[in-house]
């Protein structure tokens, strides 16, 4: 999953995505990442339906390997709505679409509310994941602005893909932050419930 303001490393190995990467590098270096709808995951090799809200980004680093594969670093730029797919050109293996750019709002008057939510997020991440690697995650995110902080956690935390898609579809940063807290609080409650011994086993 790609989120605005977040850098994502990708290993490109499928032929259609190698071709897509070459085309992007020869042009404006921009591609979009869209998520396949869960009911069609068995048709990944074809052209299964995808969610209409995606994230467009720019390839900021690339390395082509000797066998044609690529290592790229993709920077998320903005959310987009897929308006419709374009027919492929001659020999084109990858999918392309017309898109509408979407505004991602972060009102200035929400800064105090977001500051409180950032503290709550830090508590939840520390409680749920609590490893040195996750401490590094929070440390590296601490100096980010609100948008980058929230989007970085959405991208990095081990959430289910539908949950991440739901977060991406939210139009404003305060709402996304609040929804992420709700998801983590549910995970925290589920974790505590599983740690409580079954009362029937105590008798």
Q: For each of the chain's 203 residues, which pLDDT tens digit applies?
A: 899 999 999 999 999 999 999 999 999 999 999 999 988 766 666 788 999 999 999 999 999 999 999 999 999 999 999 999 999 999 999 999 999 999 888 777 777 888 889 888 888 888 887 654 455 555 556 678 888 889 999 999 989 999 999 999 999 999 999 999 999 999 988 877 776 655 444 43
Which of 101, 124, 158 lies at the terminal end of a domain, its last residue? 101
Q: Looking at the structure, do residues 80 and 114 belong to the same domain, yes or no?
A: no
pTM to 2 decimal places: 0.84
Number of other residues whose CB lies within 10 A of the CB of residue 173 = 23
d(CA 169, CA 155): 13
Instruction: State residue 135's pLDDT score.
Output: 54
Which of 101, 125, 149 lies at the terminal end of a domain, its last residue? 101
| Contact call for residues 151 and 4 (beta carbons, < 8 A) | yes
Query: Is residue 186 classed as helix, strand or coil in its secondary structure?
Result: helix
Which of 70, 101, 132 lies at the terminal end of a domain, its last residue? 101
- Does the residue 200 lie in any domain? no
Structural domain count, the chain: 2
The values of phi and psi at residue 145, to 5°, are -70, 170
Q: Looking at the structure, do residues 77 and 133 belong to the same domain, yes or no?
A: no
Question: Could you list the residue range(s) of the whole structural domain that residue 151 is in?
Answer: 108-195
Q: Looking at the structure, do residues 11 and 97 belong to the same domain, yes or no?
A: yes
Q: Looking at the structure, do residues 91 and 31 belong to the same domain, yes or no?
A: yes
- Does the residue 70 lie in any domain? yes
């Amino acid at each position: 999953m790609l989120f605005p303001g977040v850098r994502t490393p990708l290993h490109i190995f499928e032929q259609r995505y190698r071709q897509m990467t070459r085309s992007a590098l020869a042009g404006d270096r921009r591609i979009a990442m869209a998520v396949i709808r869960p009911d069609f995951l068995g048709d990944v090799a074809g052209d299964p339906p995808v969610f209409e809200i995606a994230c467009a980004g720019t390839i900021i680093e690339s390395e082509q390997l000797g066998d044609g594969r690529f290592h790229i670093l993709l920077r998320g730029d903005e959310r987009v709505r897929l308006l419709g797919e374009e027919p492929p050109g001659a020999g084109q293996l990858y999918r392309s679409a017309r898109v509408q750019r979407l505004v991602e709002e972060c009102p200035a008057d929400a800064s105090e509310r977001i500051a409180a939510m950032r503290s709550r997020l830090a508590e939840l991440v520390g409680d749920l994941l609590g490893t040195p690697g996750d401490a590094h995650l929070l440390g590296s995110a601490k100096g980010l602005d609100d948008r980058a902080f929230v989007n970085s956690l959405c991208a990095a935390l081990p959430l289910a893909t539908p949950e991440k898609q739901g977060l991406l579809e939210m139009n404003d940063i305060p709402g996304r932050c609040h929804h992420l807290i709700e998801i983590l609080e549910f995970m925290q409650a589920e974790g505590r419930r599983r740690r409580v011994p079954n009362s029937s086993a105590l008798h």
